[in-house]
Amino acid sequence: MQTLTVAIGAKGIDFFTKHYVTDVLANDLKGMKFPDHDVPGIKEFTIEDTGSTWVYCEHLDVNLTNGKLQGFDPVYQGVKQQSNGTFTLTYDAEKFTVPYTWAEQWDRKACTRFGCDPATSQGPNSFDYNPSIGKLDTTVTVSFAYDSGRNSYDIKYQSSSATPSDSSTEPPGDSVIQHEKGFWGGKHLNTDAVAAIGGVEFAKPVQDSINPMLASIPASGKLTDDITFNFAVGDSKLAFPGDNGITIGVTGEVAYKGTPYPGPQPTALPVPTPPVDDHHVEVYVSDYTVSALHWAYWKAGKLDLTLRPSDLPDPDSLKVKTYVTAVKAFKPYAAFAMTAQVTPVALPQKDIPQTYEFAQVYEFTQATETILQKQLPSDVYALIKTSLDGNAYTQTSDLTADLRQLGVAEQYDEAIGKATRVMGMVVTQNLEFALFIEDGKSRPQIVFDLLRTDVLQNLALGRSGNAQTMQYDFHKVTFDATLKSTTVPGFDKVDFGGMVWPIIGEPRYDEALQKLGKTGVALPIVQDFTFLFEQAQLSIQEHYVSVLADVAYKNA
């Protein structure tokens, strides 16, 4: 199963890596401690030569401890994707030091022409040692993998190398090695110390700093305390097509209080090709995720409405007296107010109150009307602009019926259909709309089955709590209210529901739907990164919604 598929292009990989190297990783490396390093058995050398006495240093052992970086500021150079999900990061640093504690121990041997005294042990003596590195070129190779057992993405260390150059390591001024003729020991120590710095495994800080951030991806699916999206790897798994980008299939399973969405399994969702332009990422979103969110919203009771006169702009809309002239059966209750209830109801043989599907729709938007203005006679265009602006149709027959009613000639149908026809996501909702007369006794009621059709419009990215989501608006296309039952004696106004629903129930239900749309479908993303909402390009395709986007980093 997969309801989301993700493709990250070279620009996205570079952006992610750059900001971790320059921010998280750089901070971790600055405090990194270097391993202790021993330079044993430095060659014997003369400390003093008076012509009659000679003093020698023998068995000099130097131990370097407490090494750390100082003034280390790595500069990101780039990342190169290798085979099988491995990546090589390159960065360098200039003009920094690696302070150590220098501890030395040696044997002092004094000699004359008559012989040598027994050697005496000296030390250990400790000094500060501050080798400096002019430049350090570092490469770190890691692999990117998914651990299904932990539901976590991991960066795993493969190898690293560091090449120092322009190094300077003057031994401590009070060290015995300062007496060495030609500083053979100092040069030897210099070479060894620099090699130790270059041999440090810089990949471990990479692994330790990035993995906690990757572990935040599952948490990005927590939409509310009760509604969660599971971002485990789906059918297409984690892949590296052509070693030029990353693709991931994501289950995107939705649960409400731990109960999975019971709707139909999603159709096979294709995987986008990693962007080759400047965009960072492309995400495909299936209709399953949108429908599952609708179901979870329903289970949470967020689509149930109870309305009283004071809840409406015109309180008289819920007063029986308003309708006595049209409905004779209301006359005995003329003095009473009513309460309205709107409740989504599960569809027959299903535990969901709605269906979503991708289909061709006709939308009269500013963009489509601009096209029509160039193609239609001015009087025909003016008629359409005045009467159909903002309309949406899911059936061709409904559109042509309205065109005929407006007096638009059939010869313009093809141009109008072509200009307004787009791929849309159509949602059909099953509702119960009930009116209760508050007579203080039996509460007579009129109950209607209501079937409403909407299309989703104005797709965009946004934030909902801590989640980043694909958001949308609901645009009503049609509704049909059918009398289901009544306990009002003599009530026979079968079209009453269609008359009062737009006044009483629809405005507040529209508000509830818009809140649902502004909550939106959670998208997987790493902590501290944010989709650039305003620049994202969203489009409805034949079987999915495409989201082409860039991301920003918190400190960028």
Return the pLDDT at 189: 47
HEC per residue, 389-408 = CCCEECCHHHHHHHHHHHCC
> CB within 8 A of 27, min separation 6: which ones?
none
As a whole number, the mean pLDDT across the chain is: 88
Q: Which of 393, 480, 476, 477 is nearest to 430 (CA)?
A: 480
Structure tokens, 254 = 């939705």
Q: Which pLDDT band holds residue 510 (cuts at 50, 70, 90)?
A: very high
Q: Which of 346, 344, 384 is nearest to 366 (CA)?
A: 384
Q: Give the residue-averaged pLDDT of 329-336.
A: 95
**64-68, 250-254, 327-331: least confidently modelled range:** 64-68
Q: Which pLDDT band holds residue 255 (cuts at 50, 70, 90)?
A: very high
The predicted model scores a pTM of: 0.81
Q: Give the residue-averaged pLDDT of 325-344.
A: 95
Phi, psi of 185, rounded to the nearest 5 degrees: -65, -40
Structure tokens, 489 = 């004696």
Which residues of 148-257 form beta strands (DSSP E)? 152-168, 227-230, 233-239, 246-250, 253-256
Q: Give the residue-averaged pLDDT of 532-536.
A: 90
Contact 95, 168 (CB under 8 A): no
> CB within 8 A of 464, min separation 6: which ones?
223, 471, 518, 519, 520, 522
Q: Give the residue-averaged pLDDT of 37-56.
A: 88
Return the pLDDT at 487: 96
Q: Give the residue-averaged pLDDT of 225-244.
A: 90
pLDDT higher at 186 or 115: 115
Return the pLDDT at 93: 84
Return the pLDDT at 183: 53
Q: What is the set of domains in the chain, with CATH numbers?
A: 33-199 (3.15.10), 295-524 (3.15.20)
* Residue 324 Cα to chain centre, angstroms: 55
CA distances from 311 to 317, 340, 440, 512 (A): 10, 10, 20, 14
Q: What are the pLDDT digits (tens) for 59-82?
A: 999 998 988 878 888 788 889 999
